[in-house]
Structure 1
Amino acid sequence: MSELRLEAGIFSNFLKLMELRIVRSGMRAVPADLVRGSRSLFFLSLEDNLLTELPGEMLYQQRDLRTLSLARNRLRSLPYKLFTMIWTLTKLDLSENAIEFLPNNIFEENQSLRTLNLNHNNLQQLEPELLKPMYNLVKLSLAHNVLASVDLAAFADYSELKSVDLSHNVITQLSDSELNLKINAKFDLSNNNISKLFLENLDPIVGEASIILNNNPVVCDCKLFNFVRVLKEPNFARRFYLDHAFCGAPASLSDKLLSTVTVDELICELDTPPCPEHCACTLRPAAARLELDCPAAPSELPPLAPLNATSVHLRLHTVPDDLAALPPEVRLVDISGLGLTVAPRTLSRLDNLTIDIRNNNLTIAPISLLKANAIIRLAGNRFECDCDHRDSIATLELYSTQLEDRAQLQCRNGDRVMRTPAERLCTMRNAIVLGSTMVALGLILAVVGLLAFRYSTEIRLVLRRYEVLDFLFEEPPDPTELEEQYDAFVSFTHRDDDFVQDELVPQLEGGRRPLRLCLHYRDWEIGGMIPEQIARSVSESRRTIVVMSREFLVSKWGRMEFRAAHALDRVILLLRGDVLSAAREDPELRAYLTSNTYVHADDPLVWDRVRDAVLRSRRPRPPAVPALPAPPAAPALTQPQPPLPLQS
Structure 2
Amino acid sequence: VVCTNDEACQYKSAEWQCDPRCICWVQRSVGSLIVDCRGTSLEELPDLPRTTLLSTVLKVGNNSLTSLPTVSEHSGYANVSGLFLSDNNLTSLGSGDQLPDNLTHLDVRDNQIQSLSEEFLLFLQEPNNTMTLSLSGNPITCGCESLSLLFFVRTNPQRVRDIADIVCTKQKKSFQQMEAFELCPSYVLLISCVVGGLVIVICLLTVFYLMFQQELKIWLYNNNLCLWWVSEEELDKDKTYDAFISYSHKDEELISKLLPKLESGPHPFRLCLHDRDWLVGDCIPEQIVRTVDDSKRVIIVLSQHFIDSVWARMEFRIAYQATLQDKRKRIIIILYRELEHMNG
Instruction: Decide: shared fold, TM above 0.5.
Output: no
TM-score normalised according to structure 1 size: 0.26
TM-score normalised according to structure 2 size: 0.42
The structure whose Rg is larger is 1
Higher helix share: 2
Higher relative contact order (CA 8 A, sep 6+): 2
